[in-house]
Amino acid sequence: MKFDAIVFDLDGTLIDTLDDLMDSVNFALDKFGFPSRNIDEIRSFVGNGVKRLVYLSVPEDTDEATSEKCLEIFKEHYKGNSKNKTAPYAGIQDMLSKVKADGYKTAVVTNKIQDAAIEIITDFFGDKIDVIIGQIDGVAQKPEPDGVWLALEKLGASRDKAVYIGDSEVDCMTAHNAGLPCIGVTWGFRSREVLEENNAEFIVDSPEKIADCLQ
């Protein structure tokens, strides 16, 4: 077996979260009378955690204190809104079942808030994911490699037998910073061109193709 551990990104790779993120962002923006954001804007803003998402969503001249208040409103709203429209991409459940049956160790490393990540992954995927690393105090967020290294440590897996799977430039950077090859997926929040520009070692157009890259 070329690899024995797989580290997944979450949003844009395993699940489509855009609509719920957009609704919670716009709920927070509306509290301040700010213009709402559309789905394409939200897609371009995600990937570096919810703080950056909200800070990019507020008007450019918004002061720090207001941006922070908007972020807190977003977080509170998202707690009850994270699974209203969010769902796994087609083929993901079958892919995860297959890799688990084949003996791979699995982890998710995401910039999503830890409690939200645990709740979403547990509800959608049950025991198909062995380790969940979200925003944790003292652990630098992606594209820093810390979360990936922590996940591998918890899995009892070595870096030279692990692969990272994600959908964005942040994921490519995270994988390479951690010393892992990257499988880029095209059904998420970024284009094939972005994955190519950021040197993803493999690029797949459907979850079924992931197994081919693991051999």
CATH 3.40.50.1000 fits 5-16+87-214, yes or no: yes
Please state, for a pLDDT cut of 90, what percent of the chain lies above it. 92
Query: 9 with 62: CB under 8 angstroms?
Result: no
Domain chopping of the chain, boundaries: 5-16+87-214, 18-79
Position 55: which residue type? Y
pLDDT of residue 116: 86
Fold of 18-79: DNA polymerase; domain 1 (1.10.150)
Average pLDDT, the chain: 96
Q: 141: left (phi > 0), else alpha (psi -120 to 50), else beta?
A: beta
**Neighbouring C-beta atoms of residue 32, cutoff 10 Å:** 14
Sequence letter at residue 18: L
List residues bridging with 132 in a β-sheet. 108
**Which band of pLDDT confidence, cut at 50, 70 and 90, is reported for residue 182?**
very high
**What is the arithmetic mean of pLDDT over 86-95?**
97
Whether this prediction's pTM lies above 0.75 is answered by yes
For residue 45, pLDDT over 70 is answered with yes
Q: What is the pLDDT of residues 104-135, one digit of tens each?
A: 999 999 998 899 899 999 999 999 999 999 99
- The reported pLDDT for the residue numbered 1 is 61
Please report, rounded to a whole number, the percentage of residues in the chain having pLDDT higher than 70.
100
